[in-house]
């Protein structure tokens, strides 16, 4: 939002406050100031000059050679304006002048003649949009006077406010609200418009005649609605300089006096409004209602909008005129022959306006304001401001009837007890009661004496209670930000700091993160929980999650919730493998198959361009399950796993295991199929595991650990490499050996490595640990254990590699 300093001066005298100081105080206490510009500085260097001679250019028909006189010196200027003529007094910019667009004039040769300056149009002066010819001053305009003096335009400071910083303050979406803040910040008088005398004057405009327009409101989503009729206006009249230049400076194009007054009042008060051409209404009754069926509606921008049941409309004779709170219809626009208008103001339920605006993709100045929950009580003030300006511009206009009230706002003042001792304790400031009362009063709060000298009763104004009722803590914040946060004392807090147990789901997430970073040697990633159909197709994932598609997605690539971590991981893998030979990453994220049943999953991916990492990843998975104290095991076979479809083409046919816990399958570990990797132009080997941790996210589990007596004697390790067919499951080789066998001193066994061999074979290396709690194993003990292991493997069809 753009704010003109001169416009603020209408309501608070800031002449004693420097611009840097104003920006600093506003930024510290109220709003975030972005860009700062100084407008119309070039007008101080452009002067009035008289064209004393005009001759056609000898070679170019559209050019003229003019001699201009500034009163003290004469210049030759080459000009192409079609309206230039001898005797005119025009704006002249000499060599070295910097124009509003940033261009600096230089002595220039144009078609064989030197031009010693430039004659300017309204657009080039940045005071209008007319570029059809040079601007011509009245005949009695003195020569050599600056355009700034002639037009009464001084350099104007414009502040650009970041809208995000005032989302919670709808009262600051207008010049009037910002001016009130400035007055409070600097302790200056606020020039209130809405006084008793002003209201009496505005009410005197209206008559006891019957209004030609009656209002009927049938929607509960209309919080306030009112309007009045006026005739004797002229839509062909242009706005005076004050309104036109202010609108243009803040980015609104002046059109005519009626449209400009409407926009001007909205920007000043922060309250949108609409001017109807009364003759276009047809019926006397203007209905405010919810749309009862789907239909097409042509808005002012000449676009067809698809309305749905429930959208708010203003209609006459069942003919929609306005899409309430967003934009008027094409048949409600002010035209050149308009002489009689109906001025309406309203406040709508913010959720309805936001929902409709988002669905239609139609964002306007009005909808942005209504979405912030405007003050229903301020509609009458805004209408009075419209009436005041209409009377000023069209003194002979006639107001027909009274202001029609279609819906009265439902708001009543409420009391907050403000305790200055509590405020000082919270803020660590020393503020006396009189100062606090002065601050609250300057912000529009009504104050009455309290039950004792430390308290007062405070009644917030309606414009500060549009979202929810304020409480004492809100008043404390108001006092603190106006008084200045720089007064906060630097001291330790006086209340005790007590340790707090983290929620169970947070503890689980941190436990997973710590383990996979420190033991899994992986980087944590955060992929987007929204994916698109293309990503699912790239992952060869058949379930497209059609039931969880967003109605108004920002992009087709992010239009639905993901059913698995696999598509997101494959996307991250494809990107990172271009830059790294090997890497590991994990994510603690969410997946969904049903809207109200999101699941918490942890996924882990390992990639290596040179060799398979399936065994290492499976070891990390087992260690993670043990770390989380989840009683689970890895099983092989064709299993209907809810996390991994049986027919998924991305799974390696042999390197795949399922995680089973309490008869349920909660995850998997799998190598990605070479064909899937090749299709995505991924070179090397990749595997991943995924676990559904939802059952344990909010489960309180005791810290139970299994302790084993340390071995007293030296351990012996033996490796055995056996041959197996390429399609043989590695897990079967390991499962034929006993995990623990005191008779042959076996205390553990695991797969060490797997590597390919010729003739569709592969070699599997097992590592077996041998030990005893009773004595040191002899050579005979080790030999007996070795023979037992070799024989057991052979009996199951796996012979040692020779």
- pLDDT one-digit tens code per residue, 243-276: 888 898 888 888 899 999 999 999 999 999 999 8
CA 177 and chain centroid, separation: 24
Using one digit for the tens of pLDDT, what is the confidence trace for 341-350?
999 999 999 9
Specify whether the CB–CB gap between 334 and 275 falls below 8 A: yes
Q: Which residue, among 153, 170, 190, 358, has the nearest Cα to 266 in the 3D structure?
A: 170
CA 366, CA 271: separation in Å to the nearest integer?
Answer: 8
- Average pLDDT in the 401-417 region? 88
Residues 445, 447, 452, 453, CA torsion sign: positive
Q: Answer yes or no: is pLDDT of 443 > 90.
A: yes
Mean pLDDT across the chain: 89
> What is the residue whose two structure tokens read 């609104």?
252
HSE toward the beta carbon, residue 515, CA cutoff 13 A: 21
Q: What is the pLDDT of residue 485?
A: 87
pLDDT of residue 21: 93
Lowest-confidence segment of 105-114, 298-307, 308-317 by average pLDDT: 105-114
3-state SS class at 385? helix
The model's pLDDT over 622-647, given as tens digits with 9 standing for 90+, comes to 999 989 988 888 888 888 899 999 88
pTM listed for this prediction: 0.67
Q: Above 90 in pLDDT, residue 571? A: yes
Residues 87-101 have pLDDT tens digits of: 999 999 999 998 888
Q: What is the pLDDT of residue 704?
A: 62
Do the strands 108-110 and 398-407 form a parallel or antiparallel pair, or are they unpaired? Answer: unpaired
Q: Are strands 633-635 and 455-459 parallel, antiparallel or unpaired?
A: unpaired
CA dihedral 588, 589, 591, 597 (to 10 degrees): 90
Q: In angstroms, how far is the first alpha carbon of the chain from the final one?
A: 81
Q: What is the b/e burial string over 606-645, where b = at least 16 CB atoms within 10 angstroms of the residue's CB? A: bbbeeebbbbbbbebbbebbeebebebebeeeeeebebbb
Per-residue CA distances from 136 to 50, 80, 405, 573 (Å)? 10, 15, 48, 68
Helix (H) or strand (E) holding 245: helix 241-249
Instruction: Give the pLDDT confidence score for residue 700 in this predicted structure.
Output: 65
Mean pLDDT score, 739-763: 83
Which pLDDT score, from 0 to 100, does residue 111 have?
Answer: 79
pLDDT at 196 (0 to 100): 92
Angle, helix 19-29 to helix 175-186, in steps of 10 degrees: 100
Region 90-113: what's the mean pLDDT?
Answer: 86
Q: Counting every residue, how long is the chain?
A: 802
* Structure token pair of residue 429: 């400031």
- Cα separations in angstroms, 78 against 36, 130, 565, 659: 36, 20, 70, 86
Residue 747 · residue 774 · CB < 8 Å: no
pLDDT band at 126 (very low <50, low <70, confident <90, very high): confident
Token pair belonging to 746: 């076996």
pLDDT grade, residue 701 (50/70/90)? Answer: low
Instruction: Give me the residues paired with residue 329 across strands.
Output: 299
Q: With the C-alpha atoms ordered 196, 201, 202, 204, is the resulting torsion angle positive or negative?
A: positive
Q: So what's the pLDDT on residue 556?
A: 87
Would strands 416-419 and 74-79 be described as parallel, antiparallel, or unpaired? unpaired
Task: Give the pLDDT score at 554.
Answer: 82
Radius of gyration of the chain from Cα atoms? 39
Strand 455-459 and strand 560-561: pairing? unpaired
| 151-163 pLDDT tens trace | 888 888 989 998 8
CA 702 to mean position of chain CA atoms: 42
The predicted-structure confidence for 587-602, as pLDDT tens digits, reads as follows 999 999 877 788 999 9
pLDDT band at 675 (very low <50, low <70, confident <90, very high): very high
DSSP line for 312-372: EEEEETTEEEEETTTEEBGGG---TT--EEEEEEEEE-HHHHHHHHHHHT---HHHHHHTT
Are residues 222 and 228 in contact, defined by beta-carbon separation less than 8 angstroms?
A: no
What span, in angstroms and rounded, lies between the C-alpha atoms of 56 and 463? 63
d(CA 97, CA 118) in angstroms, rounded, equals: 10
Q: How far apart are CA 329 and CA 348, in angstroms?
A: 18
| pLDDT tops 90 at residue 42 | no
Query: DSSP strand E in 218-284: where?
Result: 222-231, 274-277
- For tokens 């006077």, name the residue: 145
Burial 319-354 (b: 16+ CB within 10 A, else e): ebbbbbbbbbbebbebeeebbbbbbbbbbbbbebbb
The pLDDT of residue 706 is above 70: no
Give per-residue pLDDT as tens, 513-547.
999 999 999 999 999 999 999 999 999 998 888 88
The whole-angstrom separation of Cα 222 and Cα 345 is 11
Mean pLDDT of 376-398: 93
Q: Stretch 598-608: mean pLDDT, rounded?
A: 94
């Amino acid at each position: 939002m753009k704010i003109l300093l001169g416009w603020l001066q209408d309501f608070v005298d800031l002449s004693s406050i420097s611009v840097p100081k104003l920006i600093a105080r506003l930024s510290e206490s109220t709003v975030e100031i972005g860009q700062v510009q100084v407008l119309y500085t070039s007008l101080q260097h452009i002067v009035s000059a008289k064209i004393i001679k005009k001759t056609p250019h000898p070679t170019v028909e559209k050019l003229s050679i003019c001699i201009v006189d500034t009163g003290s010196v004469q210049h030759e200027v080459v000009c192409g304006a079609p309206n230039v003529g001898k005797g005119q007094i025009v704006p002249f910019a000499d060599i070295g002048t910097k124009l509003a667009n940033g261009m600096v004039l230089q002595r220039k040769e144009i078609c064989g003649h030197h031009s010693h300056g430039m004659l300017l149009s309204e657009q080039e002066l940045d005071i209008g949009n007319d570029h059809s010819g040079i601007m011509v001053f009245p005949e009695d305009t003195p020569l050599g006077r600056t355009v700034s003096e002639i037009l009464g335009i001084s350099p104007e400071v414009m502040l650009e406010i970041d809208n995000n910083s005032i989302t919670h303050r709808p009262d600051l979406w207008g010049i009037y609200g910002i001016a009130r803040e400035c007055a409070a910040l600097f302790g200056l008088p606020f020039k209130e418009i809405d006084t008793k005398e002003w209201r009496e004057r505005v009410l005197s405009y209206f008559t006891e005649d019957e209004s030609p327009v009656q209002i009927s409101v049938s929607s509960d989503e209309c919080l306030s609605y009112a309007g009045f009729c006026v005739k004797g206006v002229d839509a062909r009249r242009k706005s005076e300089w004050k309104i036109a230049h202010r609108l243009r400076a803040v980015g609104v194009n002046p059109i005519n006096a009626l449209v400009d007054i409407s926009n001007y009042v909205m920007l000043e008060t922060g309250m949108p409004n609409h001017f109807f051409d009364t003759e276009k209404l047809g019926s006397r009754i203007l209905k405010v209602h919810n749309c009862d069926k789907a239909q097409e509606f042509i808005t002012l921008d000449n676009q067809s909008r698809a309305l749905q049941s429930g959208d708010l409309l203003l209609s006459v004779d069942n003919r929609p005129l306005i899409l309430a709170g967003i934009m008027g219809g094409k048949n409600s626009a002010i035209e050149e022959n308009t002489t009689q208008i109906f001025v309406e103001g309203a406040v709508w339920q913010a959720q309805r306006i936001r929902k409709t605006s988002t669905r239609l993709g139609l964002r306007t100045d009005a909808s942005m304001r209504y979405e912030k929950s405007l003050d229903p009580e301020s509609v009458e003030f805004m209408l009075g401001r419209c009436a005041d300006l209409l009377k000023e511009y069209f003194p002979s206009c006639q107001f027909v009837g009274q202001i029609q009230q279609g819906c009265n706002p439902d708001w009543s003042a409420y009391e907050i007890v403000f305790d200055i001792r509590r405020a000082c304790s919270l803020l660590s400031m020393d503020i006396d009661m009189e100062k606090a009362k002065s601050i609250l009063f300057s912000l529009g709060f009504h104050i009455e004496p309290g039950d004792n000298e430390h308290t007062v009763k405070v009644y917030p104004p309606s414009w500060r209670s549009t979202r929810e009722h304020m409480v004492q803590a809100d008043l404390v914040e108001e006092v603190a930000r106006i008084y200045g946060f720089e007064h906060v004392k630097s001291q330790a807090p006086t209340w005790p700091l007590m340790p707090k147990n983290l929620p169970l789901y947070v503890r689980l997430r941190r436990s997973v993160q710590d383990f996979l970073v420190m033991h899994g040697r992986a980087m944590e990633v955060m992929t987007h929980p929204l994916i698109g159909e293309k990503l699912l197709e790239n992952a060869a994932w058949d379930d497209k999650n059609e039931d969880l598609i967003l109605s108004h997605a920002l992009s087709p690539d992010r239009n639905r919730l993901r059913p698995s971590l696999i598509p997101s991981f494959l996307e991250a893998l494809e990107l990172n493998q271009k830059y790294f030979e090997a890497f590991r990453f994990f994510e603690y994220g969410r997946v969904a198959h049903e809207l109200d049943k999101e699941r918490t999953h942890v996924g882990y991916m390992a990639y290596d361009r040179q060799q398979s990492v399936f065994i290492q990843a499976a070891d990390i998975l087992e260690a993670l399950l043990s770390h989380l104290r989840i009683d689970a095991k890895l099983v092989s076979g064709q299993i209907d796993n809810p996390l991994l479809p049986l027919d998924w083409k991305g799974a390696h046919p042999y390197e795949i295991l399922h995680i089973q816990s309490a008869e349920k399958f909660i995850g998997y570990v799998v190598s990605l199929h070479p064909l899937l990797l090749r299709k995505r132009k991924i070179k090397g080997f990749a595997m991943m595991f995924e676990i559904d941790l939802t059952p344990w996210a909010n489960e309180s589990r005791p810290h139970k650990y299994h302790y084993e007596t340390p071995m007293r004697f030296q351990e012996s390790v033996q490796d055995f490499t056996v041959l197996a067919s390429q399609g043989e499951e590695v897990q079967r080789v390991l499962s034929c050996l006993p995990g623990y066998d005191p008779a042959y001193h076996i205390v553990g066994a695991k797969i060490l490595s797997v590597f390919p061999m010729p003739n569709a074979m592969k070699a599997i290396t097992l590592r077996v640990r041998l030990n005893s709690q009773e004595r040191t194993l002899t050579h005979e003990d080790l030999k007996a254990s070795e023979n037992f292991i070799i024989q057991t493997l052979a009996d199951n069809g796996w012979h040692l590699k020779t």
